[in-house]
Amino acid sequence: MFYLKISKNICLSIFERKHATDLYLLIDRNREHLSKWLSFPVYTNKIEDTIAFIDKSQKRYIDNNGFWAGIWYKQQLVGAGYLYIDWKAKKTEIGYWLGEEFQGKGCITIATQQLLNYAFKTLKLNKVEINVAKKNLKSLQIPKRLGFVEEGIIRDYEYLQGRYHDRIVHGLLRTEWVNQK
């Protein structure tokens, strides 16, 4: 299984069924916070929903098509990062979310950096994308901080909380990533 120790306090690990309760409780505690920008909290109403999600992620991992990884800070689940793989186009998209109480600790930036390293070094992909709601100002800082290029806006991408949200598409090519080093 995928496991990556990032620092003394932070690690990434693919979700397993044993994480279902912790994952559900983190989502439930942050339902209002997460629902501003993401649709899944509306559909995560019981632990069985997180078990189904974990099973889907494990299948994706087994099929070599990506995975969802939990982000742990001081051995506590604090959020998640996503990696799907489009092998034909040699690209992936990273998505992330974090419990509100864990913001400001650098978890998302460092986890995303490690997922970039994994995508480019291990998987030998050519491109990584991050799509962020246009008004999610905190989340927009991550691709900017990591050297992504803003590629465009998808208008009315998602309907959440009674309104449409535009998404900004950011991309980073392998050559750009190598030149950052």
Q: Which residues contact 83 (CB under 8 A, 6 or more apart)?
A: 66, 67, 68, 69, 92, 93, 94, 115, 118, 119
Kind and range of the H or E run holding 89:
none
pLDDT tens digit sequence for 132-148: 999 999 999 999 999 99
**How confident is the model at residue 70, as a pLDDT?**
94
pLDDT interval class at 64 (50, 70, 90): very high
Structure confidence by residue, pLDDT tens digits, 73-100: 999 999 988 888 999 999 999 999 999 9
% of residues, the chain, pLDDT over 90: 91
Does the predicted model carry a pTM greater than 0.85? yes
The mean of the pLDDT values for the chain is 94
